[in-house]
Chains A and B, each alone.
Chain A
Amino acid sequence: MSTMNTVGRPTAPNAGFDNDYKHPTLTGGRGLLQDEPLIFEGEGWGKTGVDLPKPATDGSDLGDLVRKDPIGLPGLSEPEAMRHYVRLSQKNHAIDLAIYPLGSCTMKHNPRLNEKMARLPGFSDIHPLQPQSTVQGALELMDNLAHWLTTLTGMPAVALSPKAGAHGELCGLMAIRAAHEAKGEHEQRRKVLVPTSAHGTNPATAAFVGYSVVEVAQTDDGRVDVADLAAKLGPDVAAIMVTNPNTCGLFERDILEISRLTHEAGAYFYCDGANFNAIVGRVRPGDLGVDAMHINLHKTFSTPHGGGGPGAGPVVLSEALAPFAPAPWVVNTGDGYKLVEREEDEAEQAFGRLCAFQGQMGMYVRALSYMMSHGSDGLRQVAEDAVLNANYIKARLEDLMSPAFPEGPCMHEALFDDEWLKGTDITTLDFAKAMIDEGFHPMTMYFPLVVHGAMLIEPTETESKAELDRFIEAMRLLAQAAKAGDVDRFKGAPFHAPLRRLDETRAARSPRLRWSAPEGSNRAG
């Protein structure tokens, strides 16, 4: 593989567009933004940034098991490392910088108290297989978290170990499958019903567990078509997977009817809890007839998104599914806490184990810290403010943009389609890239699939009114510019980001997924 040049070419002024590039810089650096090469392209070969004692062994006792060839890992001194990563960091948008309105992602403020608590050595410096008598406080924390989650959802049990939302879906569907097996109905029930508006993980998870996926239609008002659902339910259906509030940002009005029909058909109701933030403290999924629901701790309960993980996806379970929860789980014996690590020990019906240890302890600490900080009153306020913020955005933009479902309130996110861009030659993507130039992270684009050119905006409750107004003002100015035919502003955007629009097609067509030494060099890798 050949390497590309590492110093960017100076940016040419965009014809007829008044931007920053009247005087291109000589080096490619811009203001506080430095071009930062890859660690493999520097002088780090043979260098190290750690001081370790000289080993007394050369590993020769391991004979031919020892590696002889170079590995290909450059090193950086501490100052170089610090600069490298700080320079990289400055090319990222983040919640701490400005609103991050990705629909379905719940990008709320990440309290630093949570970080401080997760780093207490009593939580971070304990081993998953220490004797249980030495980690009673950790088990107590897990038990506390379980209590908060089950109380908030009105569900009797929770499986904590799933490591992300999709992993939680897997847990829920495995429990459903195990319940059908226990009743001797697994062979006949091989279908899972999923609405068209669902996250892609829903059908993927169903297929992952061996089910075939049947799509359920959506009504004109953005909800599950109950008649279509009823027609598709039957003795061959294992479960339905419904997101509520759904991915259009709407509460499923017929939810009680949906769960009743599902249970009558002998199937279970899996709820995707991605949008629990909209109802936490106000509505309990247990009261809606839900049998299993994952809770994204990184959404509703503020554990950091971290550039894409790690998250956590505990699953609350109904009476019917609780016996099938996977190991491990915590039991409060009254005389201390016990971690049950083998399903055979206490529950013959548990479906197995989802990961090596106890799940995402670091996230449990952060989530509990967040819940305790809010309390039951604060959490209810969270849902109310999240919904209020979304409706405020919808109300302030609906005269210029086209809400996908204008009738009635939305929940925690406002969904627009691209109807209002008709005839402008500007796409949702173009509009999003222009938002970047104005200093905002775009909303979720082209999801849900049921809405053409979808723009899904979720502000969360942690945006102040002033920040919302700033965002709304920018959106309005952009919408007006789009309608006024200022096409260049959008087509070429972004102009002001660290990079201009990236060629994603090229990346997929000839994948380059790693750095390789230039031909003729003697570098490893």
Chain B
Amino acid sequence: MRYLPLTPDDREAMLAAIGAESIDDLFIDVPQAARRDGFVDLPRVAGELEVERALSTMAGKNATASTVPFFCGAGAYKHHVPATVDHVIQRSEFLTSYTPYQPEIAQGTLQYLYEFQTQVANLTGMEVANASLYDGSTAMAEGVLMATRVTRRNKAVISGGVHPHYVKATETVVHAVGVETQALTAAVDAEDAVIAAIDKDTACVVVQTPNVFGTATDVTKIAEAAHAAGALLIVVVTEAVSMGLLKSPGEMGADIVAAEGQSIGNALNFGGPYIGLFATREKLLRQTPGRYCGETVDAEGRRGFVLTLSTREQHIRRDKATSNICTNSGLCCLAFSIHMSLLGETGLRQLALLNHEKAVATRDALAAIPGVEILTPRFFNEFAVKLPKNAAEVVQTMADNGVLCGVPYSRLAPDAGLDDVLLVAATETTLDADIKILAASLAKVLAA
């Protein structure tokens, strides 16, 4: 077995050193009834070649985003990641290290986390950011719980523009502790509708921008209404690149930002691992979930970094912790941070403009197709269209023809009654030829 260094002779010598007759002596605490002799019913040891063949065969059965005209978004985006990123995150020292419990020999990890936290805080326009959570949807759930702790109120108002999976993941968790949610009806451009739903029990209002239909909104008014009622505003962002062009949530008055960072530095990966960005105002720090890296000095006065504020966390506070999370998305943070460092402000802005440009071109091409109605007035790189046919069926037919034309809204929320709505995303990776093929084949499918 290529990953196991002990030889039969080693094992024998070690058993002798321990004073055991056989390996079974070391398992004597296992009750007789639960001991299993022989191997479980699974295949036996396999060489690299064999494993590689089997897995490559499975991988070969999937249509990859880079090889077809591709327009899927809805919370996960196909972007180009510079080669440097994937090389660096595979360095032994980053890949095979762990949570920096011993800061003196983990300054590499700690410094990139500190840089990451600064990048996220600046990008979101907030004062502080943590070292990341699992993904955007779990970050939203944590945000809602945090808002109930801060306000001592028990209700969350959720805009109809928030990604339905995010709503579901949040409701699943917060309902368990008795937090009420009021999820408003799905609508392309309905962020302001949350204002009417705010009352004295509202802990927070959750809005997404750009929302699941792609609509970009200035949420300043919502922030003002929430604050006037003593509630917090949580802004969800599923496309991090958008913040390179659009006003930051912080600038618009957000108290908590829960975002998905996958777009920067991270592959699509069929949905994970992703990276939850979580940023807030400094005064709310003690109520936040997750890990922080902070600056300090060593015994000789040199600057260094450590994990800090851990008295909020489960390993210290146990059942009184702000969250049960015990990790962050370390390597995904690193990928995010490297990509962001390469982009810099100018590169990020350029990247964001390219995304917007491609999406506008895609919209214009689709708007020219008879029967297609563009639903989203102002968007970043994703928009919703109304089709004259069932969107899920159109998507399937298009896929059978080798075009991945987007995500039918009904896949996210089958009961919303929006079966004719298709979500279409474009990024810097979208070619003009892709847009042409998309428009031509969609026109053909709709005319059939």
A22 interface contact, C-beta 8 A: no
Q: Kindly state whether residue B155 has any CB partner on chain A within 8 Å.
A: no
CB interface residues, A 116-153, toward B, < 8 Å: 116-117, 119-131, 133-138, 140-141, 144, 148, 151-152
- Can you give 28 A-B contacts (C-beta < 8 A)? A71-B122, A74-B344, A75-B346, A123-B59, A127-B65, A130-B72, A131-B396, A141-B58, A170-B173, A208-B176, A208-B324, A283-B27, A302-B3, A308-B100, A310-B272, A354-B169, A356-B165, A362-B273, A363-B272, A369-B51, A375-B44, A385-B6, A441-B105, A462-B3, A463-B5, A465-B6, A499-B104, A502-B297
Q: Does A500 lie within 8 Å of B357, measured CB to CB?
A: no
User: In whole angstroms, how far apart are the Cα atoms of A6 and B291 in the complex?
Assistant: 24
Cross-chain contact B137 with A515 (CB below 8 angstroms): no
A162 to B68, CA, bound (A): 30
Is B106's CB within 8 Å of the partner chain A?
yes
In the assembled complex, the Cα of A210 lies from the Cα of B148 at a distance in Å of 14
With CB as the reference atom, state the residue of chain B lying closest to A505. B296
Interface flag for B61 (CB, 8 Å): yes
Question: Is A90's CB within 8 Å of the partner chain B?
Answer: yes
Q: Tell me whether B1 and A378 are in contact (CB under 8 A).
A: yes
A164, B134: Cβ atoms closer than 8 Å: yes
Which residues on the A side are within 8 Å of B92 (C-beta)? Answer: 89, 94-97
> B161 an interface residue at 8 Å Cβ cutoff?
no
- Annotate B137-156 by CB proximity to A: 1 below 8 A, 0 otherwise: 11000000000000000000
Contacts of B36 in A (CB 8 A): 282-284, 287
Given A117-B55, A309-B328, A373-B48: A81 and B340 interface contact (C-beta under 8 Å): no
Q: Interface digits, A357-370 against B, CB 8 Å rule (1 contact, 0 not)?
A: 11111110100110
B160 at interface, CB cutoff 8 A: no
Within 8 A of A (CB), among B20-74: 20, 23, 25-31, 33-36, 39-48, 50-52, 54-67, 70, 72, 74
**Which of B182-190, B199-207, B311-319 has 4 or more CB atoms under 8 Å from chain A?**
B311-319
Q: Which of B98-148 contact A (CB under 8 A)?
A: 98-109, 111-112, 114-115, 117-119, 121-123, 127-129, 131-132, 134-138
With A174-B172, A360-B273, A498-B107 as given contacts, are A255 and B31 in contact (CB-CB < 8 Å)?
A: yes
Q: Are B330 and A310 in contact (CB under 8 A)?
A: yes
The closest CB in chain B to the CB of A387 belongs to: B26
Question: B39 to A357, Cβ gap below 8 A?
Answer: no
Closest Cβ of chain A to B221, distance in Å, is 13
Contact present for A49 and B347 (CB under 8 Å):
yes
Q: Which of chain B's residues have a CB closer than 8 A to the CB of A8?
A: 300-303
Q: Which residues of B contact A352 (CB under 8 A)?
A: 168-169, 171-172
Tell me whether A125 and B66 are in contact (CB under 8 A).
yes
Residue total for A at the interface (Cβ-Cβ under 8 A): 216
Q: Which of A38, A304, A308 contacts B328 (CB 8 A)?
A: A308
Asked if B1 and A46 sit within 8 Å, CB to CB, the answer is no
Contact with B along A190-211 (1 / 0, CB 8 A): 0000000001110111111110
Say whether, besides A67-B248, A353-B165, A376-B39, A50 and B82 are in contact (CB < 8 Å): yes
Smallest beta-carbon distance B175→chain A, Å: 8
Contact between chains at B297 and A494 (CB < 8 Å): no
A433-B46 contact given A38-B111, A73-B343, CB 8 Å threshold: no
B window 269-322: CB within 8 A of A: 269-275, 285, 291-306, 308-311, 313-321
C-alpha gap A442/B101 in the complex (Å): 9
- Kindly identify which residue among A5, A165, A368 contacts B55, using a CB–CB cutoff of 8 Å: A368
A504 CA / B304 CA spacing, docked (Å): 10
Contacts of B100 in A (CB 8 A): 307-308
Q: How far is the CB of B353 from chain A (nearest CB, A)?
A: 4
User: 3 smallest A-B Cβ distances: which pairs?
Assistant: A75-B344, A122-B59, A357-B271
Q: How far is the CA of A365 from the CA of B54 in the complex (A)?
A: 11
Docked CA distance A265–B95 (Å): 45
Q: Which residue from B5, B75, B90 sits with its C-beta under 8 Å from A464?
A: B5
- Asked if B420 CB lies within 8 Å of chain A CBs, one says no
Minimum CB–CB distance from B35 to chain A (whole Å) comes to 7
Q: A239 contacts the other chain (Cβ, under 8 Å)?
A: no
Chain A residues with Cβ below 8 Å from B354 are 52-53, 55
- On whether A498 and B135 interact (CB within 8 A), knowing A354-B172, A361-B269, A392-B18, the answer reads no
Whether A462 touches B341, Cβ cut-off 8 Å, given contacts A167-B134, A309-B328, is no
Q: Contacting chain B: which of A99-107, A224-232, A474-482?
A: A99-107
**Which residue of B has the minimal Cβ distance to A174?**
B176
Say whether, besides A129-B411, A499-B107, A309 and B72 are in contact (CB < 8 Å).
no
A356/B345 in contact, CB under 8 A = no
- Determine if A166 is an interface residue (Cβ-Cβ < 8 Å): yes
